[in-house]
Amino acid sequence: MAKLYFRHGTVGSAKTLNLLAVAHNYERQGKKVIVIKPGFDDRYGHQEVASRAGLHREAHIILSPSNRLEMSEFSDVQCVLIDEVQFLTVAHIEQLRDIVDQVGVPVICYGLRTDFRSRLFEGSRRLMELADSIEEVKTTCQRCNRKAIFNLKCIDGVAMLVGPSKQVGGDETFQPVCSLHFVQALERDRIEGIDDQIAESELTS
Report the CATH number at residue 105.
Answer: 3.40.50.300
The domain in which residue 174 lies consists of 150-204
| Position 95 pLDDT exceeds 70 | yes
pLDDT in tens, 27-84: 999 999 999 999 876 666 668 888 877 788 999 999 999 999 999 999 999 999 999 9
User: Which candidate in 84, 187, 200, 202 is catalytic?
Assistant: 84
Cα separation, 147 vs 138, in Å, equals: 7
pTM of this structure:
0.87
User: 37 and 111 share a domain?
Assistant: yes
User: 160 and 66 share a domain?
Assistant: no
Phi, psi (rounded to 5 degrees) for 9: -165, 170
187 is annotated as an active-site residue: no
Domains in the chain: how many in total?
2
Find, among 115, 113, 97, the residue nearest to 105 by Cα: 97
